[in-house]
Structure formats: C-alpha cells, structure tokens
Amino acid sequence: MTKSRDGEPTEALLLTPGPLTTTRATRHAMLRDWGSRDHDFIKLTARIRRRLAAIVGGRAGAKTCVPIQGSGTFAVEAALQTLIPRDGKLLILVNGAYGRRMAEICRVIGRAFEVLEWPDNQPVDGRRVAAALEADGAITDVAVVHVETTSGLLNPLADVADVVADAGRRLHIDAMSSFGAIGIDAETVPFTSLFASSNKCLEGVPGIGFVIADGTALERARGNAISLALDLEAQGRGFETNGQWRFTPPTHVLAALDAALDQFDAEGGVPGRFARYSRNCAVLCAGMRELGFTPWLEEGLQAPIIVTFRIPDGGWFRFGDFYDSLQRRGIVIYPGKLTVMDSFRIGCIGAVGEAEMRRALGVIGETVKAMGG
Amino acid sequence: MTKSRDGEPTEALLLTPGPLTTTRATRHAMLRDWGSRDHDFIKLTARIRRRLAAIVGGRAGAKTCVPIQGSGTFAVEAALQTLIPRDGKLLILVNGAYGRRMAEICRVIGRAFEVLEWPDNQPVDGRRVAAALEADGAITDVAVVHVETTSGLLNPLADVADVVADAGRRLHIDAMSSFGAIGIDAETVPFTSLFASSNKCLEGVPGIGFVIADGTALERARGNAISLALDLEAQGRGFETNGQWRFTPPTHVLAALDAALDQFDAEGGVPGRFARYSRNCAVLCAGMRELGFTPWLEEGLQAPIIVTFRIPDGGWFRFGDFYDSLQRRGIVIYPGKLTVMDSFRIGCIGAVGEAEMRRALGVIGETVKAMGG
C-alpha cells in the first residue's frame, strides 16, 4: 500500500497512459448517487460541457462539447461516424497505433479514407499533407493525433491545422493524451472536432469520452451516423433541447470529472498542468538515464505525457519480470506498443508529482539491481 | 439528507428505473484506482464475466458474458449489430418504448426488421408470434423485452422462447429491467443473447452494459458489426485471448459491480432479490392506493420493478410540482412514458427495502395533502 500525491492510501501509482492515479477528492466525489434525469444532474452535465469547451477557448458559443458514454475510442468513433459526411473522404495522418485505429474505424463504418504514414519516431509533416490535399480533391476532412501515445511523440498540430485550413478542408484532432496538459486554442488552431476522455490529463476516472465540435458542423451532420448509441448529433441536439442524456450516463464518473475539473482550475488550468507534467517528465527521463535506460524519442519530439524506453542490451532485462517486480511494490508501468522494436513505457501524468516520480525511480533502481542490470 | 437501506447518508432515494440507490459498500468499492491492463484488473474482469453468466445457469461454458462500456442501450446495439446476420431479419415484439428502441437501432444500422405491436398495457402473445414466424420465412431472429420499463409490464418470456425455438429461430432478450430480480434459466428458456446493465437490479452504478450470448453464435458473428466500438465478437475474442478489454473500461464502475455482486450473492441471488422487490412493490401499491392513486396495469401483469400510476382526477395534481416537492425531501421518482395517457412511475428496485418504501409513502402522503389532493 502506497500513497498518492495528496496522501490518500492507494494500491498503486499508475504510471501508464491511463487510467491514472486520481486524487482522494476525485474518488470521493463518487460516493453520492444521482438520479440521471433529476435537475441536479442536468446542472452537473451542463457545467461539465461548459467547462470542457472553455478549455479550448475560442469565440463564445462557436464550439460545443458533447460527452459520450464509454472510452476515448467511443468518442473517436462517434466523431468520425457523425462528422465525416457519408460521401466525404478522410485523410488520416498516421505515425502510431492511434492513427491506425482511426483508419480501422473508417474501414469498419465504411467511410472513404486514405492514410499518410510516417515512422513512429517521426512527427507528421505539414508539407506532405499539403501535397496530398493538393493531389486529391475528393478529400474533405483530415484527422491527426496530437500526442501519439504509442511513442509519446508530439505532432506539430498548429502546422497541420494551418495547412488543412489553407486547403479549405476540415480538421479532426485526436487529443486523447494531450487535452488539458498541452494547450489547443480554437482561436489559432482551426478545427472541426477534437476528441478526448475523462481519464487522461484531466485526471478523472474512466467511463466518459467527449467531442468538442464546431456547433454548425454538428448541426449539419444530422443523419450521418450509422449507429444509434454513437450518434453525436442526436446527443448534442438532446442536450440543447432538454439538457438530458439520451441514454443512462455513468453518473458517478461524471461527478468525479466535475471534481477533477475543480482541481484542474485550482492548478491553473493547462499551464499549471503542463508545468507539473513537464517536471515529472524531466525527473523521469534524467533518473532513467542514470539507471542506464535510454528514451527512444529525440528530446524535441517528446511530449511530457508518456516516455518510451528502449529495452536495455545485455540480456539481463526481461520485461515481464521487471513489470511484476514493480507491480508488487505498487508501481504500474506499461508495455511498449512499437512495431519496430521492443520497448516499454512509463507515464508521467495523473495525480502524481516529483515526489512520486522519485519514489518510482527508487523502486526501479532497486529492481534493476536485483535483476543484475 | 436522508439515509439508504444500510444507513449511509445519501442525497436521495432513487425510486426510478435506474440509476438507483446503491449501498455504501458498492460506492466505497470505487475508492481504489486500477491499472486497466494490470493482472489484478484482468482477474476482476474475468470474475465479473463468470458471475454474470452464472446467473442464467445453463450448460457449463455454453453461454459467455461480454460486458461493454456505456449504458444498457450500448449493449442492446452491440448485440443487434453483432448477432443479427447482415442478411438476417429481426422480428421485434413491441409493447413499449424499449421494443421501439430496438426497431430504431435496426433502422439506423440498416438491418432488416419487422415489428409486431401490442398496446402498452398488454403482454406480447406467443400465438401471434408463431403466426408471424410461420408467415415470413425470411425472419431469422426474434427480440423481446422481458420487463417493459415503459409500463412496468412483465412479458411471458417462457412462452415466447418456446414459440421461437419451435420455429427454429433465434431469440434475443432485453432483460435490462429484470436481470437479477426475475429468474431466466438458460436450461429452460432457450436464447441466443440477453442484454442488461450494471445499474438496475444488480444494484451497481451505471457505466457498463453486458450481453450474455451463446458462445458458438458469438464466434460465428465475426465481421457482422458495422462499428468498431460496439463489435461484441471482437471484444469477446479479446477476452478469450488475453482477458483484456480492447478499449479502456470504467475500472471504478466495474469494481463497484463486483462489490454489488457480492451483496447479490449474500442476499440469496435472484430468489432473494425477487422477494425483497416483491415486498417493496406490494407495500408501494397498497400505500399508493390508500392515498388515492391507481396503478395502471392489471395486477397479474405488474413486474415488481417499477409501477405506473394514473394521474389522479380533479385537477389538483400537477406532476412538476409533485416531483419537485418530493425531490426537495429526498425522494426522486420518474415521469411516465406512456403515449396513451398522462402517468408517472415509481420504482421499487435498488438498495431499498420496506422501510424506505414506507418513508417515501409518508412523504408522498404529506405532499398530496399540501397540494390539496
């Protein structure tokens, strides 16, 4: 039994891409039951929608937030189902598993798409995007992953957004791993939709995804979706009509998200969170280097979200043993997801600070020693 | 501030079709964070799947439980998307809004269907089903709602199941409002799938639906779904392969469900829960009659889940005022959903017993008096 940043006993430090370590205040917000069609809950839903939309700023009322039950992928699919026109074509920029997942969604739901690919350790490149848009007039929409959780890489979102806007196409942003920690300003980064979830940098518990969409684009998307549950336009219209969820929402998860947003505000919003995660990331990378591990990405490409480490040479390192040993001592890390080489990942997000990163490094150091590294 | 059945302070008694009042033990199970790909959580998921499948009994291993993120409707759509063949045709038995919702799902996902309709206060009738199956050889599957939450009516599931089996077709059961409270024995009620959710008679918190499906039918359904997130076969295969969720599950909601299942077992499973809810329902109906309210359904059709009451005559009763007055005193009830007449509903499920039903009746009596009824 270890302790999280605010001193609440918790079973483990979750140094993963999420679900993450949350605070006592966030978890305790789940101790109340809510009637999902009661006035109080309608107010809670409206407040959360307003607060999430406000994080991207922009002209008042231009963007609307539609939360949806399920994981982040449910929000991605809902956005693509609803916002990519049935006769549209989506260009998907891929440099990791989450770009590939959007392609898989388009394949399954039967929307036309094309993939533009880069290696997992290289950022997407606006010039290639511009050329692809120039070459194919059928492309109506472009999708990009802001931070690829596969590697931890930060893609040049502003460049891509400029290119897409200049070409008169619409942009959709998978901001799953960045939202709340890395600023996206709707005033300067034009986008049609952006998707994220409750349990990443907002430090809520899992169970809710959400899409922040251009209000006009959403209204015009009526009838696009080929799923009842994942029809974002119908849900958005429902919220505008009576403030209600069409289908039972995870009430306790939403109460936790509201509490997590209080803490997000108290920390100073995106700049505050970015500062803490950047410090966590710096401490993690420096400490791991001292222990002989090498971050995989070039420093300038690394987002302060999750770090991919190479499996060390010498044959002494077995990831399964390493994972189990850390897990027994209350540190949960993550396997790698690269196709090109063996790796593992350690997250630096969630309700953790420098002290927790140093504690994790201490346990990792002892484990390496015991393994003969 | 009032108290729930186990003495924990709670904001309201939720006498609705769900989300419901839960116990302290269920809510407190959400105070731990879980790594969703960690060993401990894989074990939790396997245990929940096993426990849910065991509730319908049947030959060992014949039925498999696939939980899915979201509300009950997400589970309904996942089951229909995955299990109704692309060239199949679904006959939907409709005597309320939840039957109609299945028709809406089929319309949106583009599966062929036909509706057989009864008034909201009449049970579906096996003979008409038999005739419809006889008349249309293209029908491959039949769907029925066990307890229609619209009215509170119990449909004759065993009759329908016999008719469908005799005609060599496959049955899908919406057991949303009955699962855990009214027995469904896979040995004697042949079905291909059954769908329910965490936050009804199992008394968990909302955020998870699940489908209990014939294992062979599920295996054969590969490639049917036209949604990535709602592909039940892919998720079922994932569980069999490595015990993992494809996409982040609501970890805290699942921990609460596991705790709720402990309490379900301790109460004696389905018979225990049926007995408590039946007593709740009897106390509610008798008390409401004394206050001048009339249950809408004939007694023999009423399931001990939720009761529809007629709006009383005399012009003194305004539902909005009635609702608000009860809500201010910690009792949350539900509007009616009938299309034929004005009504309201009071649930008798959740972590409530006779004492809570009597407390609610006391508040209702005082409210009626204050309103001049």
pLDDT band, very low/low/confident/very high, at A1 (cuts 50, 70, 90): very low
Q: CB distance A226–B30 less than 8 Å?
A: no
Smallest Cβ distance to B33: which of A19, A105, A252?
A19
Distance from CA of B326 to the nearest CA of A (A): 12
Residue of B nearest to A351 (CA): B33
Task: Specify the pLDDT at position A68.
Answer: 98
Tens digits of per-residue pLDDT, B29-44? 999 999 999 999 999 9
Q: CB distance B228–A109 less than 8 Å?
A: yes
Residue of A nearest to B67 (CA): A70
Smallest Cβ distance to A33: which of B10, B37, B73?
B10
Residue A114: HSE in the Cβ half-sphere, 13 Å Cα cutoff: 15
Smallest Cβ distance to B206: which of A74, A248, A332?
A248
Which DSSP string do the residues of A34-83 spell out, in sequence order? --TTSHHHHHHHHHHHHHHHHHT--STTTEEEEEEES-HHHHHHHHHHHH
B28 token code pair: 């407190």
Contact call for residues B336 and B308 (beta carbons, < 8 A): yes
Residue of A nearest to B74 (CA): A229
* Residues of chain B with C-beta less than 8 angstroms from the C-beta of A197: 248
What is the average per-residue pLDDT within A308-333? 95
Cα B181 from chain centroid (whole Å): 10
Distance from CA of B302 to the nearest CA of A (A): 23
Task: Specify the pLDDT at position A58.
Answer: 82
State yes or no: pLDDT of B10 exceeds 60. no
Distance from CA of A358 to the nearest CA of B (A): 20
Q: What percent of chain A has pLDDT over 90?
A: 93
Distance from CA of B203 to the nearest CA of A (A): 11
The larger pLDDT score, comparing residue A7 to residue A154, is at A154
What is the average per-residue pLDDT within B312-338? 94
Task: Specify the pLDDT at position A7.
Answer: 54
Residue of B nearest to A108 (CA): B226
Smallest Cβ distance to B21: which of A20, A33, A71?
A33
Rama region for B130: left / alpha / beta (φ>0; ψ in -120 to 50; rest) = alpha
Tens digits of per-residue pLDDT, B222-241? 999 999 999 999 999 999 99
What is the average per-residue pLDDT within B293-318? 95
Contact call for residues A305 and A277 (beta carbons, < 8 A): yes
* Residues of chain A with C-beta less than 8 angstroms from the C-beta of B226: 108-110, 226-227
Q: CB distance A38–B327 less than 8 Å?
A: yes
State yes or no: pLDDT of A147 exceeds 80. yes
Task: Specify the pLDDT at position B1.
Answer: 42
Report the C-alpha gap between A149 and A153 in whole angstroms: 7
- In this prediction the pTM is 0.97
State yes or no: pLDDT of A289 exceeds 50. yes
Q: CB distance B33–A18 less than 8 Å?
A: no
State yes or no: pLDDT of A6 exceeds 70. no
Q: CB distance B253–A253 less than 8 Å?
A: yes
Distance from CA of B11 to the nearest CA of A (A): 7
Q: CB distance A69–B72 less than 8 Å?
A: no
Tens digits of per-residue pLDDT, B70-109? 999 999 999 999 999 999 999 999 999 999 999 999 999 9
Average the pLDDT over each of A57-61, B89-93, B324-328 and give the range with the smallest value. Answer: A57-61
* Residues of chain B with C-beta less than 8 angstroms from the C-beta of A108: 225-228, 231
Residue of A nearest to B14 (CA): A35
Q: CB distance A227–B16 less than 8 Å?
A: no
Average confidence score pLDDT of chain B: 96
From the list B256, B229, B332, B326, the residue with the least C-alpha distance to B16 is B332
Report the C-alpha gap between B312 and B324 in whole angstroms: 17
What is the average per-residue pLDDT within B128-156? 98
Tally C-beta pairs within 8 A across A and B: 204
State yes or no: pLDDT of A262 exceeds 60. yes
Report the C-alpha gap between A155 and A149 in whole angstroms: 11
Other Cβ atoms within 10 Å of A247 Cβ, number = 23
Task: Specify the pLDDT at position B367.
Answer: 97
Contact call for residues A121 and A296 (beta carbons, < 8 A): yes
